[in-house]
Amino acid sequence: MLRMQIIGLALASALLMSVVAAGSASATVLPHEWLLNGKLIANPVKVHSQGLLLLTDDTAPGGVTQVHCHGFNAGTVGPHALDLIETITAELLGAHKSITCVFDKRGLCEASTAPTAEAVNLPWHTELTLFGSQVRDMIMPDGGGNPGWAVTCKAPLVGTITDTCTAALGSTKVENVLAGVLALFDNLSNSLNPANCKIGTEAVRNGAGLVEGDVTTENPGGLQLTFE
């Protein structure tokens, strides 16, 4: 539900471990790890992201609701494969958690008021994981509820409504790019574990929520963020 510089949902895969010799010393490393300027990260390092996400509820009452939004996130990467999404805001390192979006499909929502989206149940724990032959960043709760998005709009005769879609586990495909690390919410993300959606007191609609888009993450200190 939003295309943002952050990271976003799908299935969990067990984290594999291996022992690698480095010169005369040996160290236990994970199959994929975060790097700064090509070096392993021993302690969490602050990063920020920005991106554009498309958030869809395929079975919303009144028809499909779909919005796209641009926003920013902040958190940490490291040590090893771990990362953490702490905040998602409308501005870089800002305080506004509610992000103004644009309708692609309105469903019940009226056109006169722009929809907003807000990440729910932050922080989100994430982890680089080998899934088949593909490296993905798995997304899961960090002691709270399931990660997801809440999209709010105004509906005629009803007033303000909020559509909340969450999933217990998620993932993004990750790639090293010049600007940092690019995370892609792709078809695999949604097919493995689509989000469940609910408006108000209605019953949960399983598998209704989709997240598409991309997020680019970089180190604000100017060091090159990559993974191996």
Q: What is the mean pLDDT of residues 3-29?
A: 31
Find the DSSP H helices in the chain. Answer: 187-192
| Cα(201)–Cα(222) distance, integer angstroms | 47
Listed residue (160, 188, 153) closest to 173, CA to CA: 188
Residue 132 carries which DSSP code? T
22: in domain: no
User: How far, in Å, CA of 180 to CA of 190, rounded?
Assistant: 24
Is residue 105 included in any domain, yes or no? yes
Query: Which pLDDT belongs to residue 148?
Result: 96
Q: Cα–Cα distance between 20 and 30 in angstroms, integer?
A: 9
Q: Report yes or no on 18 lying in a domain.
A: no
Q: How many residues does the chain have?
A: 228
Task: Tell me the average pLDDT across 50-79.
Answer: 96
- Whether 21 is in a domain gets the answer no
Rounded to an integer, what distance in angstroms lies between the CA atom of residue 12 and that of residue 136? 10
pLDDT score of 22: 29
Query: What proportion of the chain, given as a percentage, has pLDDT over 70?
Result: 87
Say whether pLDDT at 69 is over 60: yes
Residue 205 lies in a domain: yes
At CB < 8 A and 24+ separation, what contacts does 16-21 make? Answer: 16/130
Is 228 a member of any domain?
Answer: no
81 φ/ψ sector (left φ>0, alpha ψ -120 to 50, else beta): alpha
Rounded CA gap, 116 and 51, in Å? 16
Asked if residue 23 has pLDDT above 80, the reply is no
Reply yes or no on whether the pLDDT at 217 is more than 70. Answer: yes
Residues of the chain with pLDDT > 90, as a percent, come to 76
Q: pLDDT (tens digit, 9 = 90+) per residue, 80-114? A: 999 999 999 999 989 999 999 999 999 999 999 99
- Please, which pLDDT band fits residue 189 given cuts at 50, 70 and 90? confident
| CA-CA-CA-CA dihedral for 185, 7, 56, 168, to nearest 10 | 100
Query: Is 54 a domain residue?
Result: yes
Q: How confident is the model at residue 187 (pLDDT cuts 50, 70, 90)?
A: confident
| pLDDT tens figures, 115-163 | 999 999 999 999 999 988 899 999 999 988 999 999 999 999 889 999 9
Is residue 63 predicted with pLDDT exceeding 70? yes
In the chain, how many domains are there? 1
Domain contains 23: no
State residue 225's pLDDT score: 97
Provide the pLDDT for residue 30. Answer: 55
CA distance 224 to 172: 20
CA distance 74 to 143: 18
Retrieve residue 50's tokens.
């920005």
- Domain span at 95: 2-13+30-218
* Sequence letter at residue 212: E
Taking CA atoms, 155 is separated from 65, 108, 111, 160, in Å, by 12, 6, 9, 6
Place of tokens 């490296």: 135
* Band of pLDDT at residue 43, cut at 50, 70 and 90: very high
pLDDT of residue 133: 87
